[in-house]
């Protein structure tokens, strides 16, 4: 992480499948005692967030995607107490029905999920919470779907990635009974999208008139020749299109600007007023130079496996003839 910051990086995203399981020990138990040789360290991810927050020059830290079953209170506390950690949580829901979550083999239930959201909002009132939802999973009844709508109403997600279930050959779900007709899946999908877009628009409209810090992005959103807008991401992850009219020099990807929100749509915000502040950053400098950050290799201490190969006249004695 330090190496990236030294190359101008100002924002990082910690990415992993069940990223909040970072550092948890999954060693097999000792057969003589039935206990694991090392305790499960459920606090490691919170410690990682705090450690990243101590890196000078690293201004924004995000992570995705955490798993509700491993989401601990110390992570919420680390988010709230570490200024560099952005007020944004992306946590997949998939379904609001306990019956469907069980069929999906998910190890959490709706009350657990909603409880985490309540705790996050209590600690970080302005947090943006986003999610993933699947509609039409095999066996999903109208009641199950209404349970999903109910969670969406209660959670008031900033936005949601919504998907229609479709069978994939070779997966357990593809062989389940009670596959949902395509037209029913489509209807439910449209109802879900309509509800979420209404909630998203209400949330975005509440930000009109507020001041937001944006990290200018490249290749995202709209750059319109008529409006001369370019795009940036607010600290909570919202996409904002703004005009860089009075910037101190050219506004570059990686720079930070402060704007006032003037309008809202379900999927983005608009800031058409003058820039309130423009801060040129090392990330902007790197972008201007065309420099792409690189990461250093990390050795995990794993043993090398060497496979012997038959020697040929062209390869005998060559140091690269073993596969590692």
Q: Give the position of tokens 């009844």.
A: 141
Q: Please work out, in degrees rounded to the nearest 5, the angle formed at the alpha carbon of residue 249 by the alpha carbons of 243 and 252.
A: 65
C-alpha distances in Å from residue 138, one per residue of 36, 52, 157, 292: 38, 42, 25, 44
**With respect to CATH, is domain 90-206 assigned 3.40.50.720?**
no
Question: Cβ distance 87 to 235 under 8 Å?
Answer: yes
Query: What residue ranges do the domains of the chain occupy?
Result: 1-27+39-86, 90-206, 211-289
- Reported as half-sphere exposure (CB side, CA atoms, 13 A), residue 186 has a value of 3
Q: Do domains 1-27+39-86 and 211-289 have the same CATH topology?
A: no
- Reported as half-sphere exposure (CB side, CA atoms, 13 A), residue 272 has a value of 8
pLDDT band at 129 (very low <50, low <70, confident <90, very high): very high
What architecture (CATH level 2) is domain 211-289? Beta Barrel (2.40)
Interaxial angle between packed helices 110-123 and 73-81, expressed in degrees from 0 to 180 and rounded to the nearest 10: 30
Question: Cβ distance 240 to 268 under 8 Å?
Answer: yes
Measured in whole angstroms, the distance separating CA 20 from the mean position of its chain's CA atoms is 12
pLDDT score of 199 = 99
Query: Is 313's pLDDT higher than 60?
Result: no
Query: Comparing 309 with 152, which gets the higher pLDDT?
Result: 152
pTM for this model (two decimals)? 0.84
Strand order in the sheet with 128-135: 88-90, 128-135, 159-164
What architecture (CATH level 2) is domain 1-27+39-86? 2-Layer Sandwich (3.30)
pLDDT score of 245 = 76
């Amino acid at each position: 992480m330090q190496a990236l910051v030294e190359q101008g990086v100002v924002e990082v995203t910690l990415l992993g499948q069940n990223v909040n399981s970072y550092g948890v020990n999954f060693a097999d138990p000792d057969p003589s005692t039935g206990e694991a040789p090392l305790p499960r360290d459920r606090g490691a991810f919170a410690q990682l967030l705090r450690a990243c927050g101590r890196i000078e020059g690293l201004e924004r830290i995000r992570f995705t995607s955490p798993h509700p079953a491993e989401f601990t209170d110390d992570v919420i506390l680390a988010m709230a107490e570490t200024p560099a950690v952005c007020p944004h949580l992306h946590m997949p829901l998939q379904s609001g029905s306990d019956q469907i979550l069980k069929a999906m083999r998910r190890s959490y239930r709706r009350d657990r999920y909603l409880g985490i959201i309540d705790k996050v909002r209590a600690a970080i009132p302005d947090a943006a919470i986003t999610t993933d939802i699947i509609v039409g999973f095999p066996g999903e009844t109208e009641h199950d779907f209404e349970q999903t709508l109910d969670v969406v109403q209660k959670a008031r997600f900033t936005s949601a990635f919504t998907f229609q279930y479709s069978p994939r050959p070779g997966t357990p779900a593809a062989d389940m009974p009670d596959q949902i007709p395509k037209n029913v899946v489509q209807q439910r999908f449209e109802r879900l999208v309509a509800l979420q877009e209404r909630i998203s628009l209400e949330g975005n409209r509440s930000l009109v008139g507020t001041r937001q810090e944006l990290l200018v992005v490249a290749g995202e959103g709209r750059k319109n020749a008529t409006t001369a807008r370019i795009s940036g991401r607010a600290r909570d992850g919202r996409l904002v299109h703004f005009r860089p009219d009075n910037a101190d020099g050219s506004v570059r990807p990686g720079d930070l600007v402060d704007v006032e929100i003037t309008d809202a749509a379900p999927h983005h915000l608009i800031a058409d007023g003058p820039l309130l502040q423009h801060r040129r950053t090392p990330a902007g400098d790197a972008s201007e130079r065309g420099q792409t950050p690189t990461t250093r290799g990390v050795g995990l201490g794993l043993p090398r496996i060497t496979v012997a190969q038959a020697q040929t006249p062209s390869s005998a004695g060559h140091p690269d003839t073993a596969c590692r």
